[in-house]
Amino acid sequence: MRKKILIPLAALIVFCGGGFAAYSVAFAKKAPAPKVNGTVMTLAKSFTMNLSDGQYATLSVALLLPKSETMTDEPIVRAIITDVITDQPSTTLLSANGRAGIQSDIVHDVNTKTNLKVKAIYFTDLAVQ
């Protein structure tokens, strides 16, 4: 009598356990893709530079590089950033569209004038006076 109860009970437990395992594998949540795909490198020193309209800007800059890449050309990158920004009026730096254009120009120049392959550039701190 006991065997008649234990065998179906054991089969039920195995079936339910296996079903749960299959369910958890099939419907497991996938890890979300990283929002930042690469390495963010912050330049060591901030910039203070004159703008074309007589005002000046102080800013800190970070670059988004591919994961395997490291920063080796920082002096050249700093020179490129200075060249691009000092040609701009303060109003360009103060508008989101203006900053996006400057960032695009810097990424293009860094990618063509150095061995780096920059994916994006960020102004992490910015003040215009």
Give the gyration radius of the chain's Cα atoms.
28
* Confidence at 2, pLDDT banded by 50, 70, 90: low
Which of 33-42, 51-60, 119-128 is predicted with the least confidence, judged by mean pLDDT? Answer: 33-42
Highest mean pLDDT: which of 15-24, 30-39, 56-65?
56-65
* Confidence at 29, pLDDT banded by 50, 70, 90: confident
* Confidence at 38, pLDDT banded by 50, 70, 90: confident
CB 84 within 8 A of CB 106: yes
CA distances from 17 to 13, 29, 40, 71, 123 (A): 6, 19, 45, 52, 53
d(CA 69, CA 56): 32
17 pLDDT more than 80: no
Question: What percentage of residues in the chain have a pLDDT greater than 70?
Answer: 77
